[in-house]
Amino acid sequence: MTWYHYLAAGAFLLCLISLLSHLIRLVRLGAPNDYSRRRGNVGSAIVFSFLGAMSPAKKESAYLHLPTYTAGLLYHIGTFVSIALFFLLFFNIQPAAWIRWGVIGLLAVSGLSGVGILVKRTTVKKLRLLSSPDDYISNILVTVFQFLTLVLLIQEAFAPFYFLGASLLLLYFPLGKLKHALYFFAARYHLGFFYGWRGIWPARKS
């Protein structure tokens, strides 16, 4: 273990504790108690909320903005892959060469998607109005993390920079919008419950 391994492990632990405290609060507060007479199937609506309702065909936010939607999707895939690789790389486990080059390609695309999203945020007026420093910092940290993962897969000597970048991201994670990684699931649960209780979801053809 080197200093940067300790740093990354500490940052990960702090991030985990903080996110766990958010999760515990969510669970302790619990779901709302609805006294109205249920009309639909809540279980299937919650499943629909996470699957069918997320399809681009169901959301204007996706089908009216396909390039942004695609970039966002790739960016998130790149993030998940980078997080998974963080654990492997921490224990110095290198993926097989053919996987490595596939991942490098994916991270190049997802990282560029992140840059594209950042450019859009800085150039589109309505997004600038919406954005706080947190939005820019979050985007930069995640994008840099993806590029650092990519570089480390090519050049192992880059490890100190990689773990420093990962630690910064992990320490920042609970402070701002990146928390949506946790709250997203809670929000979609509530939305599925709401629409399912009233028989609105799963959507039927009208």
Partner 1 sequence: MNGLSAQKLKALQLLTQPKDSQLISHVNSCVHCGLCAESCMYYVATNDERFVPALKVDLLSTIYQRYSTVTGKFLPRLVKARELDDATIQEMVDLFFGSCTLCGRCTLHCSIGVDITYLVRVGRAMLASMGFVPATLQSTVNAALQTGNNMAIPTEDFTSTLSWLEDELRNEVQDPQASIPLNQPDVNVLYTLNPREPRFFPLSISAMAKIFYAAKESWTLSTFMYDVTNYAYFSCNLEEAVKIAERLFNETTNLRAKRCVLAECGHGSRAFRWEAPNYLQKLFSFDTLTSVELLAEYIREGRIKVDKDKNQETVTLHDPCNLVREGGIVDEQRYVLNHTTTTFVEMTPHGLDNLCCGGGGGQLSMSEYGDRRMKIGELKAEQIRKTGAATVVTPCHNCVDQLIQINNRFKLGVNIKTLAEIVADALVLDQPAVTPSPTQKA
The binding site for partner 1 (CB under 8 A) comprises 22, 25-27, 29-37, 39-40, 49, 53, 59-62, 64-65, 68-69, 72, 121, 124-127, 129-135, 137, 175-177, 179-180, 183-184, 186-191, 194-195, 198-200, 203-204, 206
Of 68 and 104, the one with the shorter C-beta distance to partner 1 is: 68
DSSP H/E element including 87: helix 66-90
SS3 content of the chain, % helix, strand, coil (to 5): 80, 0, 20
* DSSP state for residue 55 in the 8-state scheme: S
Tell me the closest approach of the beta carbon of residue 118 to partner 1, in angstroms.
12
Tell me the closest approach of the beta carbon of residue 174 to partner 1, in angstroms.
9
SS3 of residue 155 by DSSP: coil
Of 55 and 94, the one with the shorter C-beta distance to partner 1 is: 55
Residue among 192, 4, 21 nearest 90 (CA): 4
Of 49 and 167, the one with the shorter C-beta distance to partner 1 is: 49
Angle, vertex CA 146, rays to CA 142 and CA 152, nearest 5: 140
Sign, CA torsion 190/196/202/206: negative
Tell me the closest approach of the beta carbon of residue 132 to partner 1, in angstroms.
4
Of 31 and 84, the one with the shorter C-beta distance to partner 1 is: 31
Of 31 and 154, the one with the shorter C-beta distance to partner 1 is: 31
Tell me the closest approach of the beta carbon of residue 17 to partner 1, in angstroms.
13
14: alpha, beta or left, given left = phi > 0 and alpha = psi -120 to 50?
alpha
Tell me the closest approach of the beta carbon of residue 49 to partner 1, in angstroms.
7
